[in-house]
Amino acid sequence: MNPVAAQTRLAGVLYAVVIATGLFSLAYVPAQVPLGDAASAQELLARVRAGETLLRWGVAADLVQQVAYALLALALARRLRDAGPELARVMVVLVVVGVPMALLSLTGRLELLALAQPGGMGLSPDAQAGAVASAWRTARAGMQVVQLFWGLWLAPLAVLLWRTRAVPRVLALCLALGCAGYVLRVFVGVLAPQSIDLVTGWATLLPASVGEIGTGLWLLLAPVSRRGGRSGVSF
């Protein structure tokens, strides 16, 4: 296998890990253990206890995802740097900044699980429920900030992929739109949280999902020419 193909496949494998763990921790687990719509602190505590095992698996998946995400940025930078070394460095920096923030948010979820244990921290039932609710709010706020970097890194990635034609250009365009969607959601959540429902639907989520899943699969499975682009007709 030539070096370009090897770099492409490595990036594809890492992207597949990021996608798989992300779908599990960010989509499947919240769907099975919905914490965001709990009507009270007591209900939130009950849901955390009922879904503790799955929530712990979600944290474990997130840990794997963050490691794979950091390695992915390095692999993509190496694969695409000829199309723009400075852009490749910017992409890596955005990921390197975002990963520690995401890990810090995960410590909040681990704290939430610890507080939810029966008799946790020697608190009264009401105080325990309040502490769990506070930990959950902190973890959610942390993830809201992290989403800014999840969006921003897609901009240099989209430009590099567009220039190299390592994936069809429609996927690079989806990544660029996904960047805009993430940034929009973050700032609406900060500046006008009452309007957040207007920017959390498919219109903001779909481009990033199509772009990232499509790019990961393309890098993993599509034929790669020695020049670095895909074999066949260019998009």
pLDDT of residue 173: 96
Residue 84 Cα distances to 87, 88, 164, angstroms: 5, 6, 10
Per-residue pLDDT, averaged over 33-41, amounts to 86
- In-domain check, residue 229: no
232 in any annotated domain:
no
* 153/39: higher pLDDT: 153
Which phi and psi (to 5°) does residue 230 adopt?
-80, 160
Q: What is the pTM of this model?
A: 0.87
Number of domains in the chain: 1
Give 98's contacts (C-beta < 8 A, 6+ positions apart).
146, 148, 149, 150, 153
Q: Is the pLDDT of residue 17 over 80?
A: yes
Residue 94 lies in a domain: yes
Query: Per the structure block, which two tokens stand in for 47?
Result: 């849901």
Structure tokens at 137: 């709010």
Query: C-alpha angle with apex 59: 53 to 64, nearest 5 degrees?
Result: 130
Domain that holds residue 121: 3-221
Burial class (CB in 10 A: 0-12, 13-18, 19+), 197: exposed
Task: Tell me what the pLDDT averaged over the chain comes to.
Answer: 88
Q: What percent of the chain has pLDDT over 70?
A: 90
| CA-closest candidate to residue 169, choices 221, 203, 218 | 218
Domain presence at residue 233: no
Residue 12 lies in a domain: yes
Note whether residue 158 is domain-resident. yes
Q: List the structure tokens of 193.
A: 């949280």
pLDDT, position 125 = 82
Element spanning 109, H or E = helix 85-115
Q: How confident is the model at residue 234 (pLDDT cuts 50, 70, 90)?
A: very low
Is 91 within a domain? yes
CB 174 within 8 A of CB 137: no
Is residue 226 one of the residues assigned to a domain?
no
**From the CB of residue 175, how many other CB atoms can be counted at a distance below 10 Å?**
27
- Pair 162, 172: CB distance under 8 Å: yes
